[in-house]
Amino acid sequence: MNWQQVGKVMIGTSLALGATAASAQAAPGTYPVVPRLYNNVAESTENYNYGVCSTFGSSPEALSCYHNWGVVRATSTQFPNGKVLLFTRTAGPRHASIGTKLPPGLNPPLASNNNTQMDMIRLLNAEGIAVDYTEDINAFTNLNQYAAIIFFDGSRESMWNHGNYVVPSMAVSTSTTAQLDSAKIALRQYMRAGGGFVAVHNAFGTEYNWPWYEGLLGNGNYFDHGGFRNGNVEIAAVDPSTVNIGPPGTEFAFKDEWYTLVPYPTNVKVLANLDIGTQTSQCTGLPCYYTTGNPTLPANQTSGFEPITWCHYYDGGRAWLTVLGHDVSATSDITQTAPTPGFPGRPEFQRHLVDGIKSAMGLTPFCT
């Protein structure tokens, strides 16, 4: 099967008639008119276009996607390396690792089961980085003080101000209190001012119906996952967020759900993959297309890969994204026994995550 596809590239902002491809066409198939799987992979890798720039690397063209406006971020004597905002609001399924929903406001008291929040504060404070945190959409403001915003889990329409639905007077209100989507605009404008964005785990599976956000995720979005299972992370590229783990080909054991993705991430720098052959069990979700390939083939496929971490510049800012981080153990204190017995790879994953955050903050080179 010829997998050539016609992508569409917009030049500038002008919309104009484009002639369709004049060459390299596949002949119409015979029934059933479905394409053969290519290389046992069944994702369409058309280049989605979200209307804003998306680049990676160090070329002038790539770097021109970054808006170097010289925005001054907050620092302090105690935390000289700046400050980040950790956002864990859910508007749908909620991961156990982030615990009970937080009270309103910025930096409310944490409960003993808000493990991920406490872990991230500990990990980043140790790097000289301050952490604000919230699950209150009304506190998603004043963002330019942060060198990065971290979406750790969360779910569905987490950027929506549901509370404003219920005030009938807002039908004719002309005040800003009627606005339902102020957080979306705040995130967009933050990125355009050269901000940093980090998505962890179920930050995929969030805001499916907001195309700009799907583009921010690297033209990749959660489709589903198989079981919580062991597998090896394989470093795929030299990068400030991988250099402290090892060169490409370096592997470390980990345990996660290894999300499958539609759309398949495009136009990004892939930093790490799941080495499919190292899984201790096969993907059991739907469709498990990366791990089992063509379902008519034996399920014990032992080769191939699946992207799990990547980065790109997007709409003026930096975005570093990983689908890993399902289990509470992933960010847990490595000087203590893991909450999930035998959970592997904590030092490597945490190094990867923290270095990724630092690159998105601009503390190191980014997505080179």
Partner 1 sequence: MNRQRYRQAILTAGLALSALSVGIQSAEAQRGAPSLGATNDSIETFTYGPCNGPSLYQAVDGTSASYASCYHNWGLTYANSVVIFSRTAAERNGALGNPMPTGNPDATNVAQAGLKRLLLAAGVATVTIAETTSSIPGQGSTAGAVVFLDNSGDALWDHGKSVTPASNTVSTTTSAFTTQGYVNLRQYLRQGGGFVAIHNAVGTERNWNYYVGLLGNASTYDSAAIQPGTVQIEASDSSTVGVGSPGTQFALGTAGVGGDTFYNLVPYPTNVKYLATVLEGSLTTKKSVHPGHGVFHPVAWCQYYDGGRAWVTTLGQDPRLWADLSLPINQPGGANYFPGAAQFQSMVVNGVLSAMGKVPFCT
Closer to partner 1 by Cβ: residue 101 or 122: 101
In whole angstroms, the minimum distance from the beta carbon of 343 to partner 1 comes to: 26
- 3-class DSSP state of 209: coil
In whole angstroms, the minimum distance from the beta carbon of 101 to partner 1 comes to: 4
What six digits make up the tokens of 328?
């509470």
In whole angstroms, the minimum distance from the beta carbon of 324 to partner 1 comes to: 21
Instruction: Provide the b/e sequence for 323-341 (b: ≥16 CB within 10 Å).
Output: bbbbbbbbbbbeeeebeee
Closer to partner 1 by Cβ: residue 19 or 72: 19
In whole angstroms, the minimum distance from the beta carbon of 118 to partner 1 comes to: 17
In terms of Cβ atoms closer than 10 Å to its own Cβ (0-12, 13-18, 19+), residue 9 is exposed
Closer to partner 1 by Cβ: residue 20 or 59: 20
Give the torsion sign (CA, 287, 322, 201, 280). Answer: positive
In whole angstroms, the minimum distance from the beta carbon of 70 to partner 1 comes to: 33
DSSP track, 268-336: SEEEEEEEGGG-SS---SS--HHHH-STTS-S-----EEEEEEEEEETBEEEEEES---SGGGGS-TTS
Taking the CA atoms of residue 333, residue 338, residue 340 and residue 342 in that order, the dihedral angle to the nearest 10 degrees is 140
Closer to partner 1 by Cβ: residue 10 or 185: 10
In whole angstroms, the minimum distance from the beta carbon of 260 to partner 1 comes to: 10
Q: Which residues contact 248 (CB under 8 A, 6 or more apart)?
A: 235, 236, 237, 238, 242
Closer to partner 1 by Cβ: residue 157 or 355: 157
In whole angstroms, the minimum distance from the beta carbon of 275 to partner 1 comes to: 15
Q: Which residues contact 160 (CB under 8 A, 6 or more apart)?
A: 91, 137, 180, 181, 183, 184
Q: Which residues pair with 232 in a beta bridge?
A: 253, 275
Closer to partner 1 by Cβ: residue 153 or 348: 153
Closer to partner 1 by Cβ: residue 31 or 59: 31
